[in-house]
């Protein structure tokens, strides 16, 4: 129970930080430094994400809810928005999350559509 409570608190805190990251991005700021700090909280880095396999990312982050949040961060990170490999990796991670949580999610469907539109837009 204690682990579940800790995980829920971590997810809530990172979701708040992600909202702040989006706000800064919408204001036209470079969010790379903020994103790097949030990646560290998930025990990853932008460089590591680029080189890691999806299975390794899932294993290191640990929880599917945190991986779903990581996918959202990846597609908002300006360093990855024109990186086809990272967009495809984000799509694969999202698929893996869906496999772990069989609950139908409109948010995940919208997120998948956003990834697809980014891929079409840049490639």
Residue 36: the pLDDT is 95
The predicted-structure confidence for 95-107, as pLDDT tens digits, reads as follows 999 999 888 899 9
Residue 10: the pLDDT is 85
The predicted-structure confidence for 50-66, as pLDDT tens digits, reads as follows 999 999 999 999 899 99
Residue 3: the pLDDT is 66
Residue 49: the pLDDT is 96
Q: What does pTM read for this prediction?
A: 0.88
Instruction: Give the residue ranges of the chain where pLDDT is below 50.
Output: none
Kindly report each contact of residues 84-88 with a partner whose C-beta sits within 8 Å and lies 24 or more positions away, as own/partner: 84/119, 84/122, 84/123, 85/50, 86/49, 86/50, 87/115, 87/118, 87/119, 87/122, 88/119
């Amino acid at each position: 129970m204690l682990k579940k409570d800790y995980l829920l608190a971590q997810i809530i805190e990172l979701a708040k930080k992600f909202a702040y990251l989006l706000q800064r991005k919408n204001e036209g700021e470079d969010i790379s430094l903020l994103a790097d700090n949030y990646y560290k909280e998930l025990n990853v880095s932008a460089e590591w994400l680029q080189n890691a396999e999806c299975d390794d990312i899932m294993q290191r982050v640990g929880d599917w809810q945190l991986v779903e949040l990581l996918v959202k961060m990846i597609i908002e990170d300006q360093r990855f928005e024109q990186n086809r490999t990272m967009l495809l990796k984000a799509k694969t991670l999202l698929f893996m999350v869906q496999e772990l949580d069989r609950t139908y999610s409109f948010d995940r469907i919208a997120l998948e559509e956003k990834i697809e539109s980014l891929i079409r837009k840049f490639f």
